[in-house]
């Protein structure tokens, strides 16, 4: 399906700079733009590509000022990246949606299945489980007994939702995600061995949450591990038992949150961040890649990096010193060699 630049601009409440009648039917990156496609520019480091791109239409921020002539038609919007997300979402909604239950799926007679649900081959749905209207459950997924899947939620292939866990509305769980595996709970005994502590809680995932491939969220020892509304988790993340992640927090790949910690609202954790157990992280905190957080952060909107985590401006100054340590060591050694012998001996 084709759309003109003017139609797209009207939908996004943007303005056209160029030919309003040019039409596009797909998307492309700005550096590999093709005729008949729409691209976008939001990061200034890619600005050089806009002058040679073959994309017919390019979304740009309203403050973009071209340095020379551009052959593409521009649509000026408040936020080009967000506008691209809106258009991609529309495209996804226009795709035909599957529904129906495969005869190769196993559905417990006591399970409740909503209307217009799609359940692919080799899905298992346990006793007392509930799947809401318009949900999509792809092949080889597992939904344990008394688990609940909300309306319009998507489970990609191989997702495991263990017993009594709850997934809200409009969530997306990518391939291989495991929700509700046992928390890592063991009690040391006198003989040096460990006794397993039964994990009898569950996991609650609220609405509009996205969980990446092969991410694991452990069930609580008691009570619930809770992922609040709007949280976005990348691939390969470990969330331990009794953790709470509050609204609209974003966590990148290979990060880990240890048991019973609470992460505040609107936080950003970059890749490979590690948060120790039983901590509280205030709202709006940002942790740079590979940051280790050994203690609570009570100040909202703190920006931290390094291990142990320190304010990012301190980390940057320390990094300058660290990379100069070999030269500083050489300077100290030279100074010591030039000291009088009695001072070298500390006399």
pLDDT digits (tens, 9 = 90+) for 66-89: 999 999 999 999 999 999 999 999
Q: Could you tell me the pTM of the whole model?
A: 0.88
Domain carrying residue 41: 3-94
Do 28 and 49 lie in one domain? The reply is yes
- pLDDT of 346 strictly over 80: no
pLDDT digits (tens, 9 = 90+) for 242-277: 999 999 999 999 999 999 999 999 999 999 999 999
Q: List beta partners, residue 342.
A: none
- 347: confidence class by pLDDT, cuts 50, 70, 90: low
| Domain stops at, among 45, 75, 94 | 94
Looking at the domain assignment, is residue 9 inside a domain?
A: yes
So which residues are the catalytic ones? 241
Residues near 83 by Cβ (< 8 Å), separated by ≥ 6?
12, 14, 40, 59, 75, 77
Looking at the domain assignment, is residue 330 inside a domain?
A: no
Looking at the domain assignment, is residue 79 inside a domain?
A: yes
Average pLDDT, the chain: 95
Residues near 262 by Cβ (< 8 Å), separated by ≥ 6?
243, 244, 245, 246, 279, 280, 281
At 48, which CATH number? 3.40.1390.10
C-alpha 102, offset from chain centre: 31
Do 83 and 165 lie in one domain? The reply is no
Q: How many other CB atoms sit within 10 Å of the CB of residue 313?
A: 10
Q: Where are the alpha helices (DSSP H) in 34-186?
A: 80-94
- 343: confidence class by pLDDT, cuts 50, 70, 90: low
- pLDDT of amino acid 313: 94
- 332: confidence class by pLDDT, cuts 50, 70, 90: confident
Identify the burial level of 162 via C-beta atoms within 10 angstroms of its C-beta, where 0-12 means exposed, 13-18 middle and 19 or more buried.
buried
Q: Phi and psi of 59, rounded to 5°?
A: -80, 130
Q: List beta partners, residue 238.
A: 216, 256
Domains held by the chain: number: 2
């Amino acid at each position: 399906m084709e759309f003109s630049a003017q139609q797209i601009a009207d939908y996004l409440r943007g303005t056209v700079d160029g030919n309003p009648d040019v039409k596009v039917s797909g998307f492309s990156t700005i550096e590999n733009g093709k005729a008949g496609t729409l691209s976008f520019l939001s990061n200034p480091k890619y600005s050089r590509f806009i002058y040679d791109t073959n994309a017919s239409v390019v979304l740009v921020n309203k403050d973009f000022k071209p340095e020379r002539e551009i052959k593409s038609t521009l649509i000026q919007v408040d936020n080009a990246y967000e506008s691209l997300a809106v258009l991609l979402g529309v495209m996804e909604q226009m795709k035909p949606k599957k529904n129906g239950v495969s005869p190769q799926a196993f559905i417990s007679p006591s399970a409740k299945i909503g209307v217009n649900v799609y359940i692919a081959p080799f899905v298992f749905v346990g006793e007392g489980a509930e799947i809401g209207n318009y949900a999509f459950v792809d092949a080889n997924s597992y939904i344990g007994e008394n688990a609940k899947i909300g309306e319009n939620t998507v489970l990609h292939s191989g997702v495991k939702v263990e017993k009594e866990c709850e997934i809200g509305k409009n969530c997306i769980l990518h391939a291989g995600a495991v929700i509700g595996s046992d928390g890592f709970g063991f009690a040391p005994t006198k003989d040096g061995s460990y006794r397993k502590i039964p994990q009898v809680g569950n996991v609650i995932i609220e609405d509009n949450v996205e969980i990446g491939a092969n991410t694991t969220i452990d069930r609580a020892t008691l009570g619930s591990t809770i992922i609040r509304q709007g949280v976005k988790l990348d691939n390969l993340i470990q969330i331990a038992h009794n953790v709470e992640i509050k609204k609209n927090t974003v966590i990148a790949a290979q990060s880990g949150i240890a048991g019973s910690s609470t992460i505040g609202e609107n936080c950003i954790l970059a890749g490979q961040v590690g948060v120790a157990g039983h901590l509280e992280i205030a709202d709006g905190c940002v942790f740079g890649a590979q940051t280790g957080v050994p203690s609570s952060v009570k100040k909202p909107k703190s920006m931290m990096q390094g291990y142990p985590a320190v304010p990012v401006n301190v980390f940057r100054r320390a990094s300058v010193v660290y990379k100069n340590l070999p030269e500083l060591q050489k300077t100290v050694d030279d100074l010591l060699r030039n000291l009088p012998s009695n001072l070298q001996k500390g006399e």
